[in-house]
């Protein structure tokens, strides 16, 4: 799933001009983390519908912001003692033996359901952070 946002480069350039490159990155990192929390919340509710032991929900993690192909990114991944990362793709897409598992499409559904709330969290975080930069909070 991809989204085209027009004027993104101009917005980032204007933010960097007004508050500085480092503070702009701190602001975007904070916004990315907040948006990821919104997505994780929706993802956990989708996984709750077919949970057995709850290990897949417990092992959901959010990475620190990083640069991937020149874009600041936060990744959602699974890591823990029960190694659920090995079977997440099986629940999402099915297998030859079980083409329609209970959780089929849950990650894609969570992405669709959380899209609006994710965007709002990003906007709110940037707005709050920018206002904080003007006041000197950040």
105, 120 in Cβ contact below 8 A? no
DSSP output for 45-110? HHHHTT-SSSHHHHTEEEPPPEEETTEEE--EEE-STT-GGGTHHHHHH--SS-SS-TTTTHHHHH
Residue 130's pLDDT is what?
75
**Res 135 pLDDT > 90:** no
Cα torsion 117, 123, 124, 126: sign: positive
Structure-token pair, residue 21: 């490159």
Residue 49's pLDDT is what?
87
What is the pTM for the complete model shown? 0.82
Can you tell me the mean pLDDT for 37-52? Answer: 93
Structure-token pair, residue 24: 């702009």
Average pLDDT, the chain: 86
Helix/strand/coil percentages in the chain, nearest 5: 60, 10, 30
pLDDT tens track for 80-107: 999 999 989 888 899 999 999 988 999 9
Q: Highest-confidence range of 10-19, 35-44, 64-73, 89-98, by mean pLDDT?
A: 35-44
What's phi and psi for 7, nearest 5 deg?
Answer: 85, 10
Residue 8's pLDDT is what?
62
């Amino acid at each position: 799933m991809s989204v085209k946002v027009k004027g993104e480069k101009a917005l980032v350039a204007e933010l960097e001009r007004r508050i500085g490159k480092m503070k702009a990155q701190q602001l975007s990192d904070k916004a990315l983390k907040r948006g990821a929390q919104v997505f994780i919340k929706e993802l956990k509710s989708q996984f709750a519908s077919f949970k057995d032991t709850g290990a897949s929900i417990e092992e959901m993690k959010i990475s620190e912001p990083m640069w991937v192909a020149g874009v600041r990114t936060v990744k959602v991944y699974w890591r823990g003692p029960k190694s659920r990362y090995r079977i997440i793709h099986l629940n999402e897409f099915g297998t030859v033996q079980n083409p329609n598992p209970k959780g089929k499409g849950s990650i894609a559904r969570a992405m669709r359901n959380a899209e609006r709330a994710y965007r709002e969290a990003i906007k709110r975080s940037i707005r709050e952070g920018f206002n904080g930069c003007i006041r000197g909070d950040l």
